[in-house]
Amino acid sequence: MAELTYREAVAAGIAQEMRRDPNVVLIGEDVARAGGVFKATVGLLDEFGPERVRDTPISEQAILGAAMGAAMTGLRPIAEIMFSDFFAVCWDIVANEIAKTRYMTDGQVTLPLVIRSGNGGGSRFGAQHSQSVENWAMAVPGLKVVAPAYPADVKGLLAAAVRDEDPVLFFEQKSLYATKGEVPDGEHVVPLGKANVLRRGDDVTIAALALMVPRAMQAAEILEKEHGIRATVVDVRSLVPLDTQTILEEVAHTGRLVTVEENPRLCGWGAEIASIVAEELFWDLDGPIVRITTPHVPLAAADNLEDAQIPSVDKIVARVRELVD
């Protein structure tokens, strides 16, 4: 095991797959010489050279157009969209072309490509550079959607995404880049579509994603230590495919579900999970399903306002206590 930061785990996952498969290439703005705007691709140019690690013009449409063409002709590109907000600039290519090509060609053309992007708030970048857009992506048939919380999952899920035959949107939470965790040495792959149960309790199930996972874990510790409430925490990890089996099993055990979502409340991923749980486990529930989300407003740049919008440990503790007490 090695202790890596979240950003170092990104580079480790890419390097693992580039060493394994010469068809894997990396393209994006400043990913080569500068090592990425978030320093998540440092060292890759030195190891793999300019033929496989390429800087691009400042054009999201050009980046994804090139990645799509490369995937159609046998390469396995990893393309970076610097901020996930910028998917709005190239959404036609993502939603109407990349997502639908395999279906519309009856499987004759596959697009084994990964689109990485810095996602979410907490870094004071303001409303146009802080959005959590995973709910945009999961609404489009044909895309797989992944959002890791810990460095080990960054490396493992990124490897699985590169090996997948379908396009995968890989969301890296920007506020987590400096966090550290143990990452397995050697080849490490975490299957897509498998949630991770981080702790188990009998009173409530908390489902969380990306930045909200460590906050949910902190909240669970406080709830047990100070209030005697024992919470199960499920790291959803993959939205498409979604591990409904694990989520339903854990909710059936506790009888209560709380989702913790960074995305705006309207049409967030937690609404889909709540719908599935309500349909499948209605008679097993001991209380209403609770969703803790960012309000349906643009994120502020001011520290105190952004902190007030994004779900905090204190908010999670308070809402869970209201549900269970």
Three-state secondary-structure class, residue 234: strand
The continuous run of DSSP H or E covering 311 comes out as none
- Contacts of 115 by beta carbon, 8 Å cutoff, 6+ apart: 64, 67, 79, 80, 81, 94, 98, 167, 168, 169, 170
- Contacts of 71 by beta carbon, 8 Å cutoff, 6+ apart: 77, 110, 111, 112, 113, 167
- State which amino acid sits at residue 75: L
Residues facing residue 117 across a β-bridge: 81, 171
Burial of 302 (0-12, 13-18, 19+ CB in 10 A): exposed
Which of 236, 199, 237 has its CA nearest to residue 218?
A: 199
Which of 232, 306, 283, 291 has its CA nearest to residue 259?
A: 291
Three-state secondary-structure class, residue 121: coil
Active site residue 188: no
Q: What is the largest CA-CA distance in the chain?
A: 60
- State which amino acid sits at residue 173: Q
- Contacts of 89 by beta carbon, 8 Å cutoff, 6+ apart: 60, 61
End-to-end distance of the chain based on CA atoms, in angstroms? 41
Choose the catalytic residue: 129, 188, 227, 253.
129
Return the beta strands (E) in the chain as ranges. 2-5, 24-28, 53-55, 76-83, 114-119, 144-146, 168-173, 180-183, 196-199, 204-208, 231-235, 238-240, 257-264, 290-294
Residues assigned a catalytic role: 129
